[in-house]
Amino acid sequence: MTKIRDNSSLKRFGSNLPRLRESKGLSQEELYFRANLSKNQVGNIERGEVNTTISIAYALAQALEIEVSELFQFEKMDFQGNLPSFWLLFIKR
């Protein structure tokens, strides 16, 4: 199986996290404490530097008191109606 790493999706996932965190009135410290993660883990995720695991995504969602799917609601059609590049990787197969 070919490994696919789409850095733009990691960045979008990461930038979505502080938006959600701030909407809940949480600091980064409160989030990593609630999710039982390290400060570095949360910081790396928010900067889009790591490809997080499903279990960490669930821990973040639980800490934020949201559905895990909300963490992934960053994929939008661009202004020309094109799919994000991440999804095109799957369609071209």
Question: Is 2 contained in some domain?
Answer: no
Question: Is 69 contained in some domain?
Answer: yes
CA distances from 62 to 1, 7, 15 (A): 31, 25, 18
pLDDT digits (tens, 9 = 90+) for 4-18: 666 888 888 999 999
CATH number of the domain enclosing 48: 1.10.260.40
The domain of 50 spans: 7-91
When pLDDT is averaged across residues 57-74 and rounded to a whole number, the result is 94
| Number of domains forming the structure of the chain | 1
- To which residue do tokens 């790493």 refer? 5
Question: Is 2 or 27 the better-scoring residue by pLDDT?
Answer: 27
pLDDT digits (tens, 9 = 90+) for 21-65: 999 999 999 999 999 999 999 999 999 999 999 999 999 999 999
The model's pTM is 0.74
Closest by Cα among 57, 56, 64, 58 to 34: 64
Question: Is 34 contained in some domain?
Answer: yes
Question: Is 1 contained in some domain?
Answer: no
pLDDT for position 73? 87
Cβ atoms of 69 and 16 within 8 Å: the answer is no
Question: Is 50 contained in some domain?
Answer: yes
Amino acid letter, residue 11 = K
